[in-house]
Structure 1
Amino acid sequence: MASDTFTGDRAATNEFLREMTAGMSHQERLDQTRWLAHMMDDKFSIPGTNFRFGWDAIIGLFPGVGDAVTSAISLLIVHHAYQAGAGPLTLARMVGNVGVDLIFGAVPLVGDVFDAAWKGNRKNMRLLERHLAKQAEKQRR
């Protein structure tokens, strides 16, 4: 019974994502991905330093729930890449970046420092940028 509920919740989430991102252009996907990466990885800075961190490190301070929430947000970038036609290898790398962030970020305190330094959302944004640049190059030929 619990698995039916989980499957139903996952289906509802997938449908919500499809409806929310339906009809977006590649540029709109890239703009949203850049915004998300900035908010999650680089929004704030420590005065007098070049060190930047985002909501990922802050929300991750809440044990268990925080890392699950930030991973769900990070998966939106992966969803955009999937919708933009990214290949399986690119998608696997992106999911791997989210997984590394989730696993290492879950370690109390040390994981929060890791979250601030890893910047998996920015890594995934760059993977999407590269994919879209290659796609644009193929279309120009």
Structure 2
Amino acid sequence: MATPDLAHLDRLSSMLDSRFRLPGTNMRFGWDTIVGLVPGVGDAVMLVPAGYLMFQAYRMGARKRTLARMALNTGLDTTVGAIPLLGDLFDMAFKSNNRNVAILRKEIERRGTGPAPTRR
């Protein structure tokens, strides 16, 4: 199985966090916010694509520190997102998946050599 490139992960995070615009505003949201509206299971379901992003970061050679920051963002999003209404508003503003891809991009740029050999 080939490792997705950063552009693929960026498209996925945009779909999850900023795919749609609230009419009449500049506020953006994605499937993470929409699915998160389902009480009890929405935020748990959205752990799957967030975990996929972190797994691909691992396969791309991200350091443990980078993976820990990504996990912290995802954990915060899931924990606060579980609070009715307030969590949904937080989810629209925080955009953990976009943050995680930005962290991964910075990691790759720090290396300056492009993606590391993939881990299996």
Question: Normalized against structure 2, the TM-score is what?
Answer: 0.89
Which residue pairs with 2:118 in the alignment? none
Show structure 1 runs of 5+ residues with no match.
1-21
1:28-107 equivalences in 2 (<5 Å): 28-107=4-83
Alignment match, 2:90: 114
Partner SS, residue 49 of structure 1: coil
Give the C-alpha shift of residue 138 in structure 1: 8.2
Kindly indicate which of the two structures has a greater share of residues assigned to helix.
Answer: 1
CA-based RMSD of the aligned residues comes to 1.6
Gaps of 5+ in 2: 116-120
**How far has the Cα of 1:137 moved from its partner?**
4.3
Would you say the 8 A contact 2:108–2:114 is kept in 1? Answer: no
Identity of aligned residues (%): 43
Deviations 1:85-126 (A, max 9, x none): 111110000000000000000001111111111100010000
- SS for the counterpart of 2:25 is coil
Specify whether residues 36 and 138 from structure 1 end up closer, same or farther in structure 2 by C-alpha distance, changes over 3 A only: closer
* C-alpha displacement of 1:48: 2.2
* Cα distance change of structure 1 residues 138 and 129 upon mapping to structure 2, 3 Å threshold: closer
Structure 1 ranges of 4+ moved more than 6 A: none
- Normalising by structure 1, what TM-score? 0.76
The count of residues paired between Structure 1 and Structure 2 equals 115
Bigger RCO (CA 8 Å, 6+ sep) = 2
Q: Distance in 1 between matches of 2:109 and 2:5?
A: 13
